[in-house]
Structure 1
Amino acid sequence: MKIKFIGGAGTVTGSKTLIESNGLKILIDCGQFQGLKPLRELNWQPLPILPSAIDFVLLTHGHLDHCGWLPRLVNQGFEGKIYCTSPTKDVAKLILLDSAKIQEEEAIKANQEHYSKHEIAEPLYTVKQAEAVFPFFRVVKPKEEILLDAEIAAVFSNAGHIIGACSIELTLENKTLVFSGDIGRDNDILMYPPTKPKKADYIFLESTYGNRLHPNTNAKAELEMYINNTVQKGGTIIIPSFAVERAQTVMYLLWQLKEEGRIPNIPYIIDTPMGINTLDIFVNNRKWHKLPEHHYLGMCKMFSMISDYQETIDTIYDKHPKVVIAASGMITGGRVLSYLERYIGLPETTVIIIGYQAEGTRGRKLLEGAKEIKIYGKYYQVLANILEIEALSAHGDQKDLLNWLSALENKPKKVFLVHGENEALDELRIKITERYHFDCSVPLMGQEFDL
């Protein structure tokens, strides 16, 4: 059996792990690279294996860095099956369509305004190519064994993180391989705690927050303080948000604050069509989350939900204080860019960062104190107040990741640490070795192992 790391190794994006066994080829996740330009350029490169040779894709969840390369895979000849949970299928459809639409729009804009270095800017994939992925989806239920062939079985188990997210246990050649996917927090506001693996010969563990502990702070109280302080200055609050799970979590907290009379009666706006559509996924998959129906209905009534872009323009030019939740979460694209074009240069504005910001993204640059950011080929001075609420992260921290390993009844032969930046990977490796005495490896991009 061969394992090849063709994405998500030494970085938190582009997750792809290839398994070859008994003539079958299985890809765990098929993510898009984001952030630094050298990483983004990898999206245009061919895989080290022909897509037509891949038999199965197993998706841990529907975030772009785990499913966003599927349209390229299908367009280049993949004809197998894509297994995932029902919410993951719905989330992946939304995210792929949104991603394709943004790429098409940005290519048109780059060609019109001539800020691309290419003679003709092209999208990574089109809406039509994204839609071509959908017939390949096959829905699986958690804890049910799926036979990929007579000797290879897969079991999906809840991983928290976002709705539908799972870890995957793969049994083949008398070995058990466990792929963590992205692990949620043990005390998440909306998601249930991740299921811990009981047995594994080889573990592939994400390391996004492998070197960090989430602060023991009150996210709701922080939101209250930041909103009230900004409104007193007559400013607008912009919350760049991942459309799935994070946007709904922030909506829920803001609704609670409003019900308790702790934040003012100003417009509360969610301007992410995908985030709005994700609300339907929450309604249709109640077993996957902790949000009570009457709370859900209450928070939806509180928010103005914007889908039409003309409404976005009208909201941007409304000078009154307001709270706007808009995608994308790492400020790599989406409607949040239109808000920041107008508001990032106003000192009374507050931008609240609420999720992981990958290296090279605008969100990371703002957190690191950038004095200007580039949007659609133009530079904008950063005068807005940039704040972070770490307690709203949907990723488990170092403590959660270590805890996820605590129920193992056997000692795995090796733990591969993936989906993390170098410092996080190395520190988590040291912690796991110290606590559990497991053999830990940090694979490089493109590296192959025989198991």
Structure 2
Amino acid sequence: MPPPINARLRFLGATGTVTGSRYLIESGRQRVLIDCGLYQGYKHLRRRNRKPFPVRPGSITAILLTHAHLDHTGYLPALFRSGCQAPVYCTPPTRDLCGLLLPDSGRLQEEEAQHARRKGYSKHKRPAPLYTEADAWAALRRFRPHPFGKQLDLGGGLSAEFIRAGHLLGAAQIRVRAGGKTVHFSGDLGQDRDPLMPPPEPFAGADVLVCESTYGDRLHPAISPEDELAGILAPFLKQKGIVLIPAFAVGRAQGIIYLLSRLMTAGRIPRVPVFLDSPMAADATEIYARHCAEHRIAQQDCAAVFQLPVRTNTVAQSKDLNTREGPMVIISASGMITGGRILHHVVNFGSRLQTMIVLSGYQAGGTRGASLAAGERRLRMFGQDYSINAQVAQLQTFSGHADADELLRWMAAGPAPAMTYLTHGEPEASDALRRRLAHELGRPSRVPEHLESIRIGKPS
């Protein structure tokens, strides 16, 4: 057995919130960052994106990514612009998806800054993006794809392994070994019955477990995603309504289009025009087709997903959608209505009673999607307030995250860690899961503080 190493784990993000996933393992001269996510949602959290990184970026020796979503990867371009030179290790599908998400994030930030300068609604005299598209491409040059299930030597007695997590194409749990101790990061764990992704591989035990708790206080309904979507859409589309579906371009959009195709083929919903107003979502579907071994759907079914929606690639084509009448379905990013083309469709169609906005996944606190889900019917977009008269429905079965029961079953599959740290959840969700861990599994757990540091092997 390797000699013990004096290693520490620091919680740099995703504590008390579902975004900003960032963890740091320090051992000797090694500083390994697990995830490098953007803070999203509430303004006081987003402000952290503008603060100096908690450790000197140039001192980081390696970065490991659980998956491609921006709350786990979206700060990378800013980190590299600040002097980081570390290699970025992730699974091959994660590298491919980051090649879509990171440049798009930089481009959107540049466009929003330009729009704010032009319209004058920013409090800053010269609003600037956190990073640019060029910064994102520079970060991508540091990526080093690594397969599932193969040990990765990080130097200094540290090693890591990527383990399938479900949730999203390429998503991984990360198991880090530091001498004789093991730290297991769950990443975001998928549902057992996800229509696209297989279930996560079971937890095999560790000295320290860092587990997500996004749905730690709730259960997914027993109804299937297909039945839920049919029940919401069928009566509305029969009345020639307009359906707006804000959807994450990677993962969620592909699942929704696939189920729409199945429902229309089965005659369970009317066959109406479907528009995919997200070039990135179409490109992401091609990536899903290239990595057939990593998801449940056969390649011929991925081709069917392409055939259903009309793709609107240009801005002019997107604007033309706002001149159309129903019935129709528009799928567009972003999934929490935080930016992108969906904002323009909500501005144009959101005031109409004949419109339905279907929220297709978890809505982080502070986002426009969360406001709609909570019953708010005025949204601020582009510096103005808009009344929302549209019907609002929130899908409960489409989440890419395991629910509380699934999280407990996953943890119970392996020996109890000395301590489980619950992160990546709102306070109520994390605390509910903490109580269930104690009462049902008899395992100690707690929610770490922001920037807290603990000694691996002797958690506080």
Secondary structure class of the residue paired with 1:314: helix
Matched, 1:85 2:99: no
Question: Which residues in structure 2 correspond to 1:398-417 (within 5 Å)?
Answer: 398-408=404-414, 410-417=415-422
- Report how far residue 438 of structure 1 moved: 1.5
Alignment of 1:34-73 (within 5 A): 34-73=40-79
Q: CA deviation at 1:371?
A: 1.9
Post-superposition Cα deviations, 1:229-279, rounded to whole Å, max 9, x if no partner, equal: 222333200010011111000011000011112222221111111111101
Q: Deviations over 1:91-141 (max 9, x none)?
A: 112111111111111111111110001001111110011111011101111
2:432 corresponds to 1:427 = yes
Letter matched to residue 370 of structure 1: E
TM-score (norm 2): 0.96
* Separation (CA, whole Å) in 2 of partners of 1:48 and 1:315: 44
Counterpart-to-counterpart distance in 2, 1:334 and 1:421: 25
**Alpha-carbon distance between aligned partners in 2 of 1:71 and 1:176, rounded to the nearest angstrom:** 29
Q: Is the 8 A contact 2:334 2:341 kept in 1?
A: yes
Displacement after TM superposition at 1:48 (Å): 1.6
Q: CA RMSD in A?
A: 1.0
- Once the two structures are TM-superposed, the CA of residue 219 in structure 1 deviates from its matched residue by 2.4
Q: 1:216 aligns with which of 219, 222, 236?
A: 222
CA offsets 1:267-308 (integer angstroms, 9 cap, x no match): 111111111110111111111101112222222111101111
Shift of 1:150: 5.1
| Whole-Å separation in 2 of the counterparts to 1:404 and 1:222 | 26
**Where do 5+ consecutive residues of structure 2 fail to align?**
1-6
After alignment, is 378-387 or 255-264 more displaced?
255-264
Are the equivalent residues in 1 in contact too, given 2:254–2:305 (CA < 8 A)?
no
CA distance in structure 1 between the partners assigned to 2:388 and 2:36 by the alignment: 35
Code of the residue aligned with 1:51 in structure 2: it is: P
Do the aligned partners of 2:276 and 2:309 also contact (CA within 8 Å) in 1? yes
User: Deviation of residue 152 (structure 1)?
Assistant: 1.1
Deviations 1:53-103 (A, max 9, x none): 000110000000000000011000011111000010111121111111111
| Structure 1 position 446, deviation (Å) | 1.3
Does the 8 A contact of 2:282 with 2:306 survive in 1?
no
The one of 422, 447, 451 aligned to 2:452 = 447
Following superposition, the deviation at residue 12 of structure 1 comes to: 0.3
**How high is the sequence identity, in percent, across the aligned residues?**
38
Runs of 4+ aligned residues of structure 1 deviating over 3 Å after TM superposition are: none
Alignment check: 8 A CA contact 2:288 2:302 kept: no
Deviations 1:210-239 (A, max 9, x none): 001011123222322322322233320001
Mapped partners of 2:423, 2:326: distance in 1: 45
Q: Partners in 2 of 1:18 and 1:298 — Cα distance?
A: 42
Match of 1:29 in 2: 35
Residue type at the aligned position of 2:103 = L
Cα distance in 2 for partners of 1:139, 1:219 equals 32
2:325 to 315, 319, 323: 319
Give the TM-score taking structure 1 as reference length. 0.98
Equivalent residue number for residue 281 of structure 2? 275
Aligned residues: 450
- The letter of the residue matching 1:415 is T
1:5 to 8, 11, 19: 11
1:165 aligns with 2:193: no
Structure 1: 5+ residue stretches without partners: none
TM-superposition CA deviations, 1:176-224 (whole Å, max 9, x none):
1100000001111010110112120000000000001011123222322
Matched to 1:442, the amino acid is V
Distance 1:320 1:100 in 2: 33
User: What is aligned with 2:423?
Assistant: 418
